[in-house]
Structure 1
Amino acid sequence: MDITQKLSQLEEQQRYRTLKEVHHIEGKTIRLGERDYINFTSNDYLGLAQLPLDAEDFSKFVEQYGNNLSSSRLVSGNSVLYTEIEQLLSQHFDFEEAVIMNSGYDANLALFNAFKGEAVIAFSDSENHASIIDGLKLSRISKEIYRHLDYQDLARRLAAYPDITKLIVTDSVFSTNGDLADIEYLVELKRQFPNTWLIVDDSHGLGLNYFDDYQNIDVITASLSKSVGAHGGVILCSQLFKELLVNTGRALIYSSGMPPSNLYFILRNTQAMLKEPYRNQHLKQLSGYFNSQLFSYLGKKCDLQTPIKSIELDDHDEAEKYYQALMGAGILVSYFRYPTVSHPTLRFSLTYYHQKSDIDRLFQIILKQKEDEETDV
Structure 2
Amino acid sequence: MGAEKITNTNTNFKWNFIENTLENLKETNLYRGMNELNSAQSAHVNFQGKDLLMLASNSYLDMSNDPQVKIYTKNIIDEYGVGSGGSRLTTGTTSIHKQLESLLAKFKGTEAALVYNTGYMANVGVISTLCSKDAIIFSDELNHASIIDGCRLSQAKIVVYRHNDMNDLEDKIIANPCSRGLIVSDAVFSMDGDIVNLSRVVEIAEKYELFSMIDEAHATGVIGERGLGTVEHYHMDKKPDITMGTLSKAIGSEGGFVCGKEILIEYLKNKSRSFIFSTSLSPAVMASSIKAIELILNEPQRVQALQGNIQYFCQCLRESGIEADSKSSIIPIVIGNEKKVMEISKELFEQGYYISAIRYPTVKKGSARLRVTLMSTHTKEELKRTAQTIGNIVNKYKGVTNELYSTI
TM above 0.5, one fold?
yes
Which of 267, 270, 286 does residue 309 from structure 2 map onto?
A: 286
Structure 1 contact 48–273 (Cα < 8 Å) conserved: no
**C-alpha separation in 2, matches of 1:371 and 1:108:** 39
1:45 to 2:60 alignment: yes
TM-aligned CA deviation for residue 56 of structure 1: 7.1
Structure 1 pair 317–244 and aligned structure 2 pair: CA distance change class (3 A): same
1:250 aligns to what?
A: 273
Structure 2 counterpart SS, 1:114: helix
Residue type of the alignment partner of 2:340: E
1:350-376 C-alpha deviation (Å, 9 max, x unpaired): 101112222222222223224433565
Residue type of the alignment partner of 2:139: S
2:207 aligns to what?
A: 192
Residue type of the alignment partner of 2:393: Q
**C-alpha separation in 1, matches of 2:167 and 2:56:** 34
Say which one has the larger Rg. 2
TM-aligned CA deviation for residue 53 of structure 1: 4.9
TM-aligned CA deviation for residue 321 of structure 1: 2.6
Question: What are the equivalent positions in structure 2 for 1:100-179 lying under 5 Å apart?
Answer: 100-117=115-132, 119-179=134-194
**C-alpha separation in 1, matches of 2:200 and 2:74:** 48
1:97-125 C-alpha deviation (Å, 9 max, x unpaired): 10011111111111012124352211111
1:333 aligns to what?
A: 355
State the aligned residue count.
Answer: 375
**C-alpha separation in 2, matches of 1:329 and 1:260:** 40
1:356 to 2:374 alignment: no
1:43-90 C-alpha deviation (Å, 9 max, x unpaired): 111121111158776555333322222111111111121111111111
Which of 29, 48, 55 does residue 14 from structure 1 map onto?
A: 29
1:240-265 C-alpha deviation (Å, 9 max, x unpaired): 11121112111111110111111111
1:269 aligns to what?
A: 292
1:30 to 2:50 alignment: no
Mean Cα displacement is larger for which, 260-269 or 49-58?
Answer: 49-58
Identity of aligned residues (%): 28
1:178-236 C-alpha deviation (Å, 9 max, x unpaired): 1111111212222332x211100000001332432374310011110111111111011
**C-alpha separation in 2, matches of 1:175 and 1:361:** 25
**C-alpha separation in 1, matches of 2:71 and 2:317:** 45
TM-aligned CA deviation for residue 36 of structure 1: 1.1
2:231 aligns to what?
A: 211
1:226 aligns to what?
A: 249
Structure 1 pair 225–56 and aligned structure 2 pair: CA distance change class (3 A): closer
TM-aligned CA deviation for residue 150 of structure 1: 1.4
Query: After the TM superposition, which segments of 4 or more aligned residues of structure 1 sit over 3 Å from their partners?
Result: 53-60, 370-377
CA RMSD of aligned residues (A): 1.9
**C-alpha separation in 2, matches of 1:187 and 1:111:** 18
Structure 1 pair 43–59 and aligned structure 2 pair: CA distance change class (3 A): closer
1:181 to 2:202 alignment: no
1:88 to 2:110 alignment: no
1:157-195 C-alpha deviation (Å, 9 max, x unpaired): 0112334222110000011121111111212222332x2
TM-aligned CA deviation for residue 317 of structure 1: 2.6
Uncovered stretches (5+) of structure 2, i.e. residues with no partner: 1-13, 225-229, 402-408
**C-alpha separation in 2, matches of 1:360 and 1:284:** 15
Structure 1 contact 87–98 (Cα < 8 Å) conserved: yes
**C-alpha separation in 1, matches of 2:181 and 2:71:** 51
1:293-320 C-alpha deviation (Å, 9 max, x unpaired): 2222125142x21111011113123212
Q: TM-score, normalised by structure 2?
A: 0.87
**C-alpha separation in 1, matches of 2:281 and 2:398:** 52
**C-alpha separation in 1, matches of 2:385 and 2:69:** 35
Which of 354, 363, 367 does residue 391 from structure 2 map onto?
A: 367
Which of 215, 240, 243 does residue 201 from structure 1 map onto?
A: 215
Structure 1 pair 54–348 and aligned structure 2 pair: CA distance change class (3 A): closer
Mean Cα displacement is larger for which, 168-177 or 263-272?
Answer: 263-272
Structure 2 counterpart SS, 1:357: helix
**C-alpha separation in 1, matches of 2:104 and 2:153:** 28
Structure 1 pair 14–26 and aligned structure 2 pair: CA distance change class (3 A): closer
Which of 254, 260, 279 does residue 237 from structure 1 map onto?
A: 260
Uncovered stretches (5+) of structure 1, i.e. residues with no partner: none
Mean Cα displacement is larger for which, 359-368 or 29-38?
Answer: 359-368
